Structure 1
């Protein structure tokens, strides 16, 4: 079973709430709570699929003690 590092929740334009869960093996799971009656979205992402703006926001909302780990997963400068 994959070991979870943390879940970071951020607001986005497309979703009422975006949650990104990071795993020790480098995987990233996104859960998007949609507006109105649209179905929610769950997807697995590669770090290359995240924009620099999304990475910035994720790091900004990341718990301080986990920032280094998350930055490595995101290949963040």
Structure 2
């Protein structure tokens, strides 16, 4: 498995929503649909992430990793 770059949380209210970025450009999302459905996992391609969520991810990304994460997200 490739090395993890970082995990960024864009959780809203009490529901979790975390994206983990890997050096091989894979993106893992762990999220909660609702309080009874926690920690669901899916693997995403950049085009499957909304522009709004990409904006949130870049805003929350550590400055030293921003360029690398932007490249993976094909942002902007």
Q: TM-score higher than 0.5 here? A: yes
RMSD (Å) for aligned C-alpha atoms:
1.6
1:76 CA displacement: 0.4
Alpha-carbon distance in structure 2 between the residues aligned to 1:48 and 1:56? 13
| 2:48 aligned partner | 49
List gaps (5 residues or longer) in structure 1.
Answer: none
User: Secondary structure at the residue paired with 1:53?
Assistant: helix
User: Secondary structure at the residue paired with 1:11?
Assistant: coil
| 2:10 aligned partner | 10
List gaps (5 residues or longer) in structure 2.
Answer: none
1:40 CA displacement: 2.8
List aligned pairs for 1:1-77, cutoff 5 A. Answer: 1-12=1-12, 16-77=15-76
TM-score (norm 2): 0.90
Moved over 4 A (4+): none
1:38 CA displacement: 2.1
